[in-house]
Structure 1
Amino acid sequence: MSPVVDAHLVVDRGAFRLDVPLCVAPGEVVALLGPNGAGKTTALRALAGLQPLTAGHLVLAGRDVDRPGQRHWTPPEHRPIGVVFQDYLLFPHLNALDNVAFGLRRHGADRRSARRRAAEWLDRVGLGVQARSRPRQLSGGQAQRVALARALAVDPVLLLLDEPLAALDARTRLDTRAELHGHLDAHPGAALLVTHDPLDALVLADRLVIVEDGRVVQEGDAATITARPRTDYVARLVGLNLYRGVADGHAVRVDDRLTLAVADPLHGDAFVAFPPSAVALHPRRPDGSPRNTWPAVIAGLQRHGDNLRVQLDGPVAVAADVTPAAASHLDLAPGRPVWAAVKAAETRAYPA
């Protein structure tokens, strides 16, 4: 099946260069994740036509829309794209019905048919009774649904969502995420979700593309990404400690002062990952089964769900999760020395 989006997005902005290959299949939802400044917004703007490519190409449903080498560029209003912006950008002087109809009018529909289709879309997102309401009369979740209806009403080949849930409170976000998931499932075209929230990406997307410093550092489905992170950012995103080293059988040397015993035999460059919950803390060097033990110093403590997240300095920086009772028993405090221990069976080792 031919991709809806076939792109190589190259954009130069001063010293920063975005260089991201991207393909999205019909009906597929791809999440673009990365830290601040990674290039996510630049990629979205390039797809929407708000930022011309410096090089590369963008083909939507077999149609060239941006190919700098041939001096071909299609303006935003002529691209088969719908966009839901982070702050929704609803027109404050128009009611919900006319906000949705606006995109249809821009695509050539007459006023009557545009308003009829807009009404159908408002019904579809559960806002038919709010058709006459202005944006200031809508809740955050309602405004998001109006923006989504406006984007989908034009039957876009590509739907772009820029942090579509970021402006919502936690409760509204939960409900709206579930509704959005249903609408994305029903959308026959491609969808690209730009977000920094791993939960939004894991719930809504079929595939994740991780961008750092303008480059793709990892991509795959959620299970692949969470099982085998390849950068510190991705490891933090999925809640794992991650180290790179050199493997020799069941041992991976990650630092001059630390070699970790691992369950998976490997040779050569390797990653080792384990969750904070796998790290046990002891007031003195433990005896018994743990093969991986090292001295550490507590660098910080913070609440993490029902537990405490302990940040440790030592041969390697590591995060450990302990219960409040264990923390009290150990008398944990910043600057206090402890011993960290991780069983080899709790580690994951894989080629770098």
Structure 2
Amino acid sequence: MLDGHLVVDRGVFRLDVRLRVAAGEVVALLGPNGAGKTTALRALAGLQPLTAGYLALDGVDLDRPDRRHLVGPEHRRIGVVFQEYLLFPHLSALDNVAFGPRRQGLDKRAARARAADWLDRVGLAGYADRRPRRLSGGQAQRVALARALAVEPTLLLLDEPLAALDARTRLDTRTQLHRHLAAHPGATVLVTHDPLDALALADRLVIVEDGRVVQDGDPATVTTRPRTDYVARLVGLNLYRGEATGRQVRLGPGLVLGTADRVTGDAFVVFPPTAVTLLPEHPGGDVPHAWPATLTGVQRHGDHLRVELSGPVETVADVTPATAARLRLAPGQQLWVVVDPAATRAYPATPPA
């Protein structure tokens, strides 16, 4: 069990994150660049001392600034897979993996036997004698993972472990990594900016922005009930905040969204870009969930076109190429946005305690 309140002051930036990870649980730290993810990982690894707060692993204090107690990185039961892997270039794959066990006191024969076992587990039994320069990116990643797990860590830290791989290798390696993480009995913290990596590998997502946790929950909850614009963009949803009454959320004067949920009070409301219909003129009649907008950009998005619109609220819509051709979409064009209430969800802005 990892239990920590990570407080790090770095000039104008302050990290202040509470983090608990159970044994066998995989938690992904997600956030934009500069949010504090890497600072948090360095603090967990012992490479960045805390300014305040505390860090404990299985009830043993690792960092307590108030008591001037700090356990060095080499004495922590922690395995780390760095973004660039940082394999020792002069050592073979086998000796890279054996390095940690040797540091823990195992004799050379026992350490190499454990390393050989781990190389076999990650599918690299035939690559034991190869040095890092003769390994592909995916193979180097697996050696780095084997090296981290060979020390039998209570906590495993992964820093953007798939970022250096090409798309095809990344897909295969992600599948293999998921299998190894599922078998790891200790706690795991994964730092990533890629939502696909987080959703595929993690049991829980912790969203960090500006050094603070802004959302914490299982992937299904976080992706369907985002609480910040960053998270909404990450999962491809339009997100607004307004005042809810029953099945309607008022976003501003004359701007009301119908929803599939019944909520009262301060609320978030979300809908996917596919819930938006674009019209060249007002749909007619009393349609409160329609508003005028100006087209600001169009990008290809899979089989559709993603349309960015400004207006009373900024909106993103997905339309087919046929619809785009019929509307003759172009930057600066005036359109009407209509949102399907059946595809719109609302939930309280204050998260449950």
1:159 matched to 2:156: yes
Residue number in structure 1 paired with 2:301: 304
One-letter amino acid matched to 1:64:
D
Unaligned runs of 5+ in 1: none
Separation in 1 of the partners of 2:73 and 2:254? 55
Separation in 1 of the partners of 2:250 and 2:81? 47
1:83-134 Cα distance to aligned partner (Å, 9 max, x none): 0000000011111011111111121111111111111110110001011111
Separation in 1 of the partners of 2:263 and 2:196? 32
Residue number in structure 1 paired with 2:42: 45
Separation in 2 of the partners of 1:147 and 1:265? 50
Residue number in structure 2 paired with 1:268: 265
Secondary structure in 2 matching 1:298: strand
One-letter amino acid matched to 1:332:
L
Residue number in structure 2 paired with 1:56: 53
- Deviates further, 89-98 or 139-148: 89-98
Shift of 1:246: 1.5
1:292-320 Cα distance to aligned partner (Å, 9 max, x none): 11111100000111110000001100000
Residue number in structure 2 paired with 1:130: 127
Task: List aligned pairs for 1:1-352, cutoff 5 A.
Answer: 4-287=1-284, 291-352=288-349
Separation in 2 of the partners of 1:173 and 1:123? 20
8 Å Cα contact 2:256-2:288 kept in structure 1: no
Separation in 2 of the partners of 1:285 and 1:130? 66
Shift of 1:286: 1.7
In structure 2, the CA distance between the partners of 1:145 and 1:170, relative to structure 1 (3 Å rule), is same
Separation in 2 of the partners of 1:344 and 1:102? 59
Separation in 2 of the partners of 1:225 and 1:92? 40
8 Å Cα contact 1:289-1:343 kept in structure 2: no
8 Å Cα contact 2:254-2:288 kept in structure 1: no
C-alpha root-mean-square deviation of aligned residues, in Å?
A: 1.2
Shift of 1:291: 4.7
Secondary structure in 2 matching 1:230: coil
Separation in 2 of the partners of 1:239 and 1:140? 30
Separation in 1 of the partners of 2:12 and 2:194? 27
Shift of 1:287: 4.1
Separation in 2 of the partners of 1:119 and 1:61? 29
Secondary structure in 1 matching 2:233: helix
1:154-180 Cα distance to aligned partner (Å, 9 max, x none): 000000000000000000000000000
One-letter amino acid matched to 2:231:
V
Q: Percent identity?
A: 73
Separation in 1 of the partners of 2:321 and 2:238? 21
1:175-226 Cα distance to aligned partner (Å, 9 max, x none): 0000000000000000000000001000100000001111110011011111
Shift of 1:259: 2.2
Shift of 1:260: 1.8
- Deviates further, 251-260 or 28-37: 251-260
Secondary structure in 2 matching 1:132: coil
One-letter amino acid matched to 2:143:
V
Shift of 1:248: 2.6
8 Å Cα contact 2:265-2:348 kept in structure 1: yes
Secondary structure in 2 matching 1:53: coil
8 Å Cα contact 2:238-2:272 kept in structure 1: yes
Secondary structure in 1 matching 2:256: strand
Separation in 2 of the partners of 1:9 and 1:92? 33
Name the count of aligned residue pairs: 349
Separation in 2 of the partners of 1:333 and 1:162? 41
Separation in 2 of the partners of 1:32 and 1:290? 41
In structure 2, the CA distance between the partners of 1:289 and 1:171, relative to structure 1 (3 Å rule), is farther
Shift of 1:290: 5.9
Separation in 2 of the partners of 1:321 and 1:335? 17
Unaligned runs of 5+ in 2: none
Secondary structure in 2 matching 1:193: strand
Secondary structure in 2 matching 1:46: helix
Separation in 2 of the partners of 1:220 and 1:265? 22
8 Å Cα contact 2:160-2:191 kept in structure 1: yes
Separation in 2 of the partners of 1:321 and 1:328? 13
Separation in 1 of the partners of 2:259 and 2:107? 66
